[in-house]
Every structure is written in structure tokens, then in C-alpha cells.
Amino acid sequence: MQTIKIAVQKSGRLNEDSLKILKDCGVSIDNGRDQLRAQARNFPLEVFYLRNGDIPQYLRDGVVDLAIIGENVLFEKGPDLEVVEKLGFSKCRVSLAVPKSAAYDGPLSLQGKRIATSYPNTLAHFLEGHGIEAETHIINGSVEIAPNIGLADAVCDIVSSGSTLFKNNLREVDVIMKSEAVLAVSPKIGGAQREILEQLRFRIQSVLKARGNRYVLMNVPNAQLDAIIDLLPGMRSPTVLPLAEPGWSSVHTVISQDRFWEVLDEVKKAGAEGILVCPIEKMVL
């Protein structure tokens, strides 16, 4: 039986989130402690646990067919590789930071400066785009310490909350790129594997749609029914069921998280009561 090989980060937050989305897609993986490969029990998929920075080359060489990887790593080491799905988790950004006491009036402030980074290609692309010449120091890990020890005037590194910058007396001054986990594909993927990929993408899309929406039930007086329905951004139209109490109906709909609180405030003001909000496990359109 044909299987598809997928690479995920060996350890860390991206590893946990990657395995979670596969689990939410109904894929059961038999992975033991320190295993580098694991087979799914109920889906034609084999997982490879790899170092994040090595994944683009494994994709390029066709050792794996797919990978869940951060956009930032792909931009740095595999800009030629195809992305077929953005996954919406492990969000971060690649940013420039300078000491809190340093002046910064835009990218041109970096002219002639020393910049420490683990993302030399990403930094070079940014500098070139702004016509800036600067000295790059490549550091793997603990980039934030470079200005404190006199090695650099600024840093270019991955930022999530910004707490690491704060602890090292740095401030974020420019965002080079925003990143999230993506599903990337090898240029050497075969036809049979491409079919399995589409099955997996269908499941992933269903999970992501569910994560981005909530199922909402509310009790509505019939006199206000039309007005409240007009406020609801349902998938097609909301479901309306009569309640045992005369003059009232139960309205069921799906609301995206982006508009969730805004819509709830509006329907409550319009007369909706007993509003119940439920998570959605899967959502197939």
C-alpha cells in the first residue's frame, strides 16, 4: 500500500501543534519516546521527526513528501518549495530589534551597522530591498545577547511575545515578515502520494474551519425573528425551530471567531436570550 511521508519538527511547540492537528484529523500515530520515524495506524502516512532547519532540504531531495514547517524557516532555507496550506498555528514574526537606548528612525538607521541573526537570507533580502549595506553576524541561538556583549548594534530574530527582547534590554523596531505553520510539498512527490495529500488536506481544511468558528444557539421571540436573522452571518441561513413556549423560536447558526463577540452583542440587544455557544469539532462545506 502506498504511503505518504511527512516531516515535523523533532521537538518544541511546533512539534506539539503539528501532532495535534494530525490527531484532530483522525490520524493515530504510534510514536514512542525519541523515535525518529512513526507509522500511522489508520491512515497511509509515516511521520519523520527532523531538525527544523533540515526539513527544507529533505523536501527538496524527496526524502519526505510533505512537511509541517514555519513560513520563516521556509523563506530562509526553501523559498523554492510549494506551500499548499496555511495552518494558522505557531504564529510568530521575524523582526529587527535594537537596544532600548538606541535611536531608530526606520531601516536606513541600519546603514553601516552590525546585525546579529540566525536568518541571514531573510535579513539580506530585507536590507537589499531597502538599499542598505550592513555587516551581518550569523549566530545560531541566543541572538539577543549580541548587542549586550558588543558583537552587534541590532538583531534580526524570531519574535513571539517579545519577552526575550525585553529581558535583554532590546525593543522591536521593524517586522520583516509574519510567519505561521504551513504544509509544504516536495517537488518530487509522486502521483499516488499527491492523492493521499488531497485526502489529508480535506481533513485539515475541515479542522481549520471548525477551529475558526463557533456553533451558537439562542432563544428568540418571534416578533424579533426577522431582525435577528438579518444580523447572523450563517453558512447559508440559520436553522429556526419552534419552542414549546408559544411565540418563541430556537435559532441555530455558525459564527466566525473574528465576528463572534460583535454579533453576540447585536443579537442580545435585539432580544435574543439563553445564548449557548459550542465548539465545533469538524466542519465540512
Which tens digits make up the pLDDT trace of 179-216? 999 999 999 999 999 999 999 999 999 999 998 888 99
Residues 72 and 110 in one domain: no
CATH label of the domain that carries residue 238:
3.30.70.120
pTM: 0.84
d(CA 241, CA 222): 11
Residue 284 within a domain: no
Helix residue ranges, H only, 114-214: 120-129, 163-167, 191-211
List Cβ neighbours of 83 (8 Å cut-off, separation of 6 or more): 71, 74, 182, 183, 184, 185
48 & 124 share domain: no
CA distance 40 to 3: 10
The number of helix segments (H) and strand segments (E) in the chain equals 8, 15
**Residue 202, in any domain of the structure:** yes
C-alpha cell of residue 8:
515535523
Which helix (DSSP H) or strand (DSSP E) does residue 22 occupy?
Answer: helix 13-24
Do 10 and 53 fall within a single domain? yes
The total number of structural domains that make up the chain: 3
Residue 190 is part of which domain span?
Answer: 4-89+181-210
190 occurs within a structural domain? yes
Domain co-membership, 75 together with 202: yes
Please name the residue that has the C-alpha cell 512539534.
15
What is the predicted pLDDT for the residue at 43?
95
CB 218 within 8 A of CB 251: yes
Count of positions (residues) in the chain: 285
Is there a single domain that holds both residue 79 and residue 192? yes
pLDDT > 90 in the chain, percent: 71
Distances in whole angstroms, Cα of residue 11 to Cα of each of 16, 159, 204: 8, 18, 21
